[in-house]
């Protein structure tokens, strides 16, 4: 398993360091699930062939970690195209719940379900569902400089103190489980 975490940490160009951290937390059953974007944008040294090779590497890593997943690839012609997210969960039951949440027509309910399934603080998920999230720029300057804010993958609410405490816990777990990845995220 350690080798798989090392391979995930070194898988560059496909998923962000923060997504890698979330995958590790799902593997350790600290976080219930994660959604990641796998999009191909033509760049120098990143052909479609390289993209597909990296997707296969990710699939092997996920299998080695015994995670359930539904891969969805995106080939957007512009940044505005709707993204289909790859879903990753520790078991089929949670994966099926993610797929079901995607199909929810009521946007309010969908946002609440996703917030819960992705392990976000309830206050943050509720604020997002209610369109009452706050911007990071609304936080005091000294709070915005905290390293744990680099682990933010959801929108904050007016209860940001509790949510930042959650981020600190998440950051500390990654620091322990994948110190190299922690360093990449916080630099």
Strand 68-70 relative to strand 34-36, pairing:
unpaired
Residue 77, SS3?
Answer: coil
Average the pLDDT over 77-85 and give the result. 79
Percent of the chain residues past pLDDT 70, beyond the cut: 99
Cα torsion through 97, 109, 16, 137, rounded to 10: -160
Distances (CA, A) of 5 to 27, 54, 91, 182: 10, 15, 18, 13
- Give per-residue pLDDT as tens, 25-53: 999 999 999 999 998 887 777 889 999 99
Quick check: 28 and 177 in contact, CB under 8 A? yes
- Tokens (6 digits) for 153: 């993958």
Helix axes 179-186, 160-177, angle to 10 degrees: 130
Determine the distance from the C-alpha atom of residue 107 to the mean position of all C-alpha atoms in its chain, rounded to a whole number.
20
Distances (CA, A) of 134 to 16, 23, 31, 125, 127: 23, 26, 23, 12, 8
- Give per-residue pLDDT as tens, 82-139: 788 999 999 999 999 999 999 999 999 999 999 999 999 999 999 999 999 999 999 9
Q: At 65, phi and psi to the nearest 5?
A: -85, 0
pLDDT for position 81: 75
Concatenate the DSSP letters of all residues of 103-128 into one string.
H-S-HHHHHHHHHHHTT--HHHHHHH
């Amino acid at each position: 398993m350690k080798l798989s975490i090392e391979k995930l940490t070194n898988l560059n160009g496909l998923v962000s360091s923060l997504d890698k951290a979330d995958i590790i937390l799902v593997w350790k059953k600290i976080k219930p699930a994660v959604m990641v974007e796998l999009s191909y944008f033509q760049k120098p040294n990143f052909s479609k062939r390289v993209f597909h090779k990296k997707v296969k590497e990710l699939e092997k890593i996920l299998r080695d970690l015994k995670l359930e997943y539904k891969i969805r690839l995106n080939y957007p012609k512009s940044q505005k195209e709707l993204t289909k997210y790859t879903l990753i969960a520790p078991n089929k039951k949670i994966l099926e719940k993610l797929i079901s949440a995607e199909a929810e027509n009521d946007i309010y309910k969908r946002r609440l379900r996703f917030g819960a399934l992705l392990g976000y603080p309830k206050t943050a998920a509720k604020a997002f569902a209610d369109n009452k999230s706050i911007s990071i720029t609304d936080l005091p300057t000294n709070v915005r400089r905290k390293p744990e804010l680099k682990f933010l993958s959801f929108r904050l609410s007016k209860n940001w103190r509790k949510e930042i405490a959650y981020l600190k816990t998440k950051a500390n777990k990654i620091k322990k489980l994948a110190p190299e990845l922690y360093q990449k995220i916080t630099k």
